[in-house]
Amino acid sequence: MHPSSFARLPSPLRQLIHVQTRYASTSSSQTDHTKPPFPFPPHRNPTPHEIFHLRRGATPGEIKARYYELVRFHHPDCAAARTLPPATSHSRFQAISDAYAILSGKRQATLSASSPDADIYEEIARRKRAQWRAPAGSDEFGYGPDVWDKKDKEAIDQGMIVIIIGFVLMITIIPISLLSPFGMRYKRHNEAAKNLTEARREAREVAEVRRLALIQHTSSGKDERCGTLDGG
């Protein structure tokens, strides 16, 4: 009714209409608490869009608003859900939560090839993969796969440099500190062997000199005896 027409009505009639309107609004509100405006799909394995009663391509704002509406009427503690068996209300609310996670992109859908939404989710996944392969990248920090690969290679190179430096230190400084006693022992052994060789050489020389002197002395004795015999 137009406001001007309502204002021309008699006062008792306006009051009656106002009371009836309030009663209808209250009745409708009470009915809303027992009968959800978005009932859970009766068939098995409904898709996320069917659970949310939304078209494909709904905006994130529409998905979030519909999720709040579904929680109001399908939460196990609400009046409408208490009319159902506890197992049913809990399973439905879990399905609503899973559908919201899928529609909001927080979780990837696991759908069979025969599912009505399989094509759309496959297309979303394909676009995400293509966006990730793009040079500009797709994450919020602006790093694409090439940038991450470069950073990984740099980290690997730096790690290899550290490993090589550590290995060089290990095979140079550590063995020197550990093997220095063995080096001194080896040096002393070499010096002793050298001294022994020198003493043996000197002994042989002395023996040779004595042998030659003995031979010379023996020859001189023979010569003297021969001279005595000739003179006699």
Q: What are the tens digits of pLDDT across the range 100-112?
A: 999 988 876 655 4
Are the beta carbons of 197 and 205 closer than 8 angstroms? no
Copy the structure tokens of residue 69: 């509406």
CA angle, residues 74, 79, 84, in degrees to nearest 5: 65
pLDDT given for residue 20 in this prediction: 47
pTM value is 0.36
Q: What is the predicted pLDDT for the residue at 65?
A: 93
The two tokens of residue 127 are 């676009």
DSSP the chain: --HHHHHTS-HHHHHHHHHHHHHHHHHHHHHHHHS-SSPPPSSSS--HHHHHT--TT--HHHHHHHHHHHHHHHSTTSTTGGGS-HHHHHHHHHHHHHHHHHHTTSS-----TTSTTHHHHHHHHHHHHHHHHSTT-SSTT---HHHHHHHHHHHHHHHHHHHHHHHHHHHHHHHHHHHHHHHHHHHHHHHHHHHHHHHHHHHHHHHHHHHHHHHHHHHHHHHHHHHHHHH-
Residues of the chain with pLDDT under 70: 1-34, 108-126, 128-129, 131-152, 173-183, 186, 220-232
Assess contact for 137 and 143: CB atoms under 8 A. Answer: yes
Here the tokens at position 143 are: 């790093």
Using CB atoms within 10 Å of the CB of residue 100, give its burial: 0 to 12 exposed, 13 to 18 middle, 19+ buried.
Answer: buried
